[in-house]
Amino acid sequence: MERAKLHFDLARLVARFLNGELTHEEYDKLKAWIEVNDKHRELWNRLTNQEYLESNLEFWRRRDDNQWQNLLKRIRKGEREKRRFVLRNAWPYAAILTALLLIGVVTKYFINGNNSNKANTLALAAKKNAGILPEGGVAQLILGDGRVVNLKGSHGQTIIEKDGTKVQNEKSVLKYFVVPDKQGSAVFNTLKVPRGGEYKVTLADGTNVWLNAATSLKYPTRFDGKERIVFLSGEAYFEVKHDAAHPFKVMIGNTVVRVLGTKFNVSAYKDDTKEMVSLIEGSVEVSRRKEGHKEGVVLKPGYSAIIGENEIAVNNDNENVKTTVAWKDSMFVFKNETLESIMKRLSRWYDVGIVYDDNVDKYIHFTGKVQKYESIDDVLHLIEMTNKVTFDITGREIRVKLNKTVPNEKWVTNGEEE
Amino acid sequence: MNQNFCFEDFRSGNEDAFRMIYEEYRTRLFYFASKYIPELEVAEDTVQEAFVKVWQKRCNFNDLDAVKAFLYISIKNQCFNFRKHSKVVHLYSNSHKEEIAEEEIMNHILESEVLDRVFKALEKLPRGCRDVMHLSYFEELKNKEVADILKISVNTVKTQKRRGLSLLKVVLKSFSFLGLF
């Protein structure tokens, strides 16, 4: 109890710090706590990280006003039916899940039993579970007033925004309709796709945007100004409605992609070091916002712009450009791509964590192609077939290990693999 | 907490006073429960159950901090019990550590409390001001660009930026601890 109260006090100090109200004495107190051990420092770093705060505050935007009524009913009747209901109902699910896991393991065992590489794959089968599948059509829509609507592809619904805009959700596509009797100025909406999900949105101007996993797009409910501006974090494929009078701009960090009407892919994950714009059709200008001046390149179809810290590089590998948009067509394609980059993409799509053993070379290159709605086992198996690495799956964590069954082979780190 | 709140009312069985406590704490407690139980319905239910208990024992509390501490501890206990029962599932999900250090619980409490305070501070900002701050600091747009997007004058942008609390600047812009002190 006393320890809990101490932490209420600490929380007050952290909040005062974020608020810029912390006094010197309070700061000393807070600092003393942070320096006790690494766990404290770690927590402190999280609590003062913008992205962490923003994403976790989603919880506070959920509104469910029935909760109080439920509680009132319960205290008035002193009843606890609901609680028992929830707990009792969890049991059958647990049983089914266990059964599925067992079936998974057993099936794997039999399938792999016929394999020539017996000893190896049997061990592998026992370690793996039923297979991690992506979630697919799920997303969150954050409305202008901060309300959050959970979207499910299978679940049709219509939302009316404050300015009168009608938003329709059907079959993993979100669609904006501008209504003639619009009220007030346009408001910003944000579509957030979690790890393991993907979604498509048709904006008010008819532009189509496919959002990949772990991606968020912010846009107005309608485009009233001279320019059509949207903000992207993550990866998305755009098919922009042609309208020469109203240029379309995608803002990604300090980079602006300016287009008239065209098809292109943008990859701008914050945990990647580079942003990449790949053009399929039409023409785009990629430039950076900097004090006083602008530097930019104009892309032609089949070209990619790779935006690094100090420069924008242009690449004209047409095949590569096609590969970058394969995700939109439910494929997972990697062409001469490093293990690290492949695993990063897998971790977003299957919502898994990746851990490497120290002796694993993350920069081996692989080439391959799989259906992305299949279980993660398929793609991992494909990589394992090259005999370079093996994978251990525990829960939602994947450990990448050196394949020790191949005796001391000299590594080829920059060549293309089978 | 709402200014009209009176602890004695709550102790004497006033439902409105109880509701104020509930509305004040429910979200952070729900967040706290979700740290242990990913099934949100179950997590939400532990929160309700804790409040039912608080209501039954309302005469034993002397102040709000005592109520709050009781709520956190009660939820923690329920979460652990639930995880024990559903061991079958968790055995396969790598999270069957029964013993969670006291330290970790305290850190989760701290985190829930801080997030709640940050959210409430942000809520106090007027809507227009929040938009300006977001575009200016998070999207790093220039005043002119912000004005174009929101269709307001550059001067309004400037005023709104001044009005924005330093909190938002801090929350919306990553910074390092060392860089500030």
C-beta of residue A47 within 8 angstroms of C-beta of residue B114: yes
CB interface of A with B, residues 301-330, below 8 Å: none
Instruction: Clarify whether residues B137 and B67 are in a common domain.
Output: no
Q: What is the pLDDT of residue A266?
A: 93
Q: Is the dihedral of CA A371, A372, A377, A382 positive or negative?
A: positive
Q: What is the pLDDT of residue A27?
A: 83
Q: What is the pLDDT of residue B157?
A: 82
Say how far apart CA A280 and CA A301 lie, in whole Å. 5
Question: At A86, is the secondary structure helix, strand, or coil?
Answer: helix
Chain A neighbors of B116, CB-CB under 8 A: 60
CA distance A368 to chain B (A): 29
Whether the predicted pLDDT of B181 surpasses 70? no
Say how far apart CA A303 and CA A313 lie, in whole Å. 10
Instruction: Clarify whether residues B94 and B162 are in a common domain.
Output: no
Cα separation values, A314 from A145, A278, A301, A303, A306, Å: 40, 10, 12, 7, 6
Nearest-CB residue to A53 (from B86, B141, B171): B171
User: Which residues are CB-contacts of A277 (< 8 A; sequence separation ≥ 6)?
Assistant: A255, A257, A264, A265, A266, A267, A284, A286, A299, A304, A305, A307
Instruction: Clarify whether residues B134 and B103 are in a common domain.
Output: no
Domain boundary among B124, B142, B172: B124
* A55 and B CB contact within 8 Å: no
Query: Where do we find the tokens 């009843």?
Result: A79
Domain spanning A330-402: CATH 1.10.565.10? no
Nearest-CB residue to A11 (from B94, B110, B165): B110
pLDDT, tens digit (0-9, with 9 covering 90-100), for B65-113: 999 999 999 999 998 888 776 654 444 444 444 445 678 888 899 999 9
Residue B118 lies in domain: 1-124
User: Which residues are CB-contacts of A60 (< 8 A; sequence separation ≥ 6)?
Assistant: B27, B31, B115, B116, B119
CA-angle at B122, arms to B119 and B125, nearest 5°? 150
Domain boundary among B76, B101, B124: B124
Residue A126: count of CB within 10 angstroms of its CB = 11
Q: Which residue of A has its CA nearest to B31?
A: A59
CB contact under 8 A, A74 and B93: no
pLDDT, tens digit (0-9, with 9 covering 90-100), for B125-174: 666 776 776 676 556 678 888 888 888 888 888 777 766 545 544 544 43
Nearest-CB residue to B148 (from A74, A75, A225): A225
* A110 and B CB contact within 8 Å: no
Instruction: Clarify whether residues B54 and B113 are in a common domain.
Output: yes
* A145 and B CB contact within 8 Å: yes
- CATH dotted code for A150-323: 2.60.120.1440
DSSP conformation letters of A257-313:
EEESS-EEEEEE-TTSS-EEEEEEES-EEEEEE-SS-EEEEEE-TT-EEEE-SS-EE
Helix/strand/coil (H/E/C) assignment for every residue in A34-45: HCCCHHHHHHHH
CB contact under 8 A, B69 and A43: no
CA distance A336 to chain B (A): 33
CB contact under 8 A, B167 and A20: yes
Chain B neighbors of A87, CB-CB under 8 A: 42, 82, 85
Q: What is the pLDDT of residue B86?
A: 61
Q: What is the pLDDT of residue B27?
A: 92
Q: What is the pLDDT of residue A199?
A: 94
Q: Domain boundaries in chain A?
A: 2-48, 81-127, 150-323, 330-402
Q: What is the pLDDT of residue A396?
A: 87
Q: Which residues are registered as beta bridge partners of A141?
A: A149, A191
Q: What is the pLDDT of residue A193?
A: 93
Query: Where do we find the tokens 């004005």?
Result: B147
Share of chain A above pLDDT 90, in %: 20
Domain boundary among B98, B124, B150: B124
Instruction: Clarify whether residues B68 and B130 are in a common domain.
Output: no
C-beta of residue A13 within 8 angstroms of C-beta of residue A29: yes
Nearest-CB residue to B118 (from A53, A83, A101): A53
Residue B83: count of CB within 10 angstroms of its CB = 18
Instruction: Clarify whether residues B37 and B79 are in a common domain.
Output: yes
Chain A neighbors of B167, CB-CB under 8 A: 18-20
Which parts of chain A have pLDDT scores under 70?
Answer: 19-20, 50-51, 54-55, 58, 61-65, 78-130, 154, 181-183, 290-294, 405-418
Instruction: Clarify whether residues B38 and B77 are in a common domain.
Output: yes
Number of domains in chain B: 2
Which amino acid belongs to residue A189? Answer: N
pLDDT, tens digit (0-9, with 9 covering 90-100), for B42-58: 888 899 999 999 999 99
Say how far apart CA B103 and CA A40 lie, in whole Å. 9
Which amino acid belongs to residue B98? Answer: E
- ipTM, two decimals, is 0.72
CA distance A23 to chain B (A): 13
Instruction: Clarify whether residues B101 and B152 are in a common domain.
Output: no
* Chain A, chain B: beta-carbon pairs less than 8 Å apart: 180
For chain B, what's the residue count?
Answer: 181
Instruction: Clarify whether residues B12 and B79 are in a common domain.
Output: yes
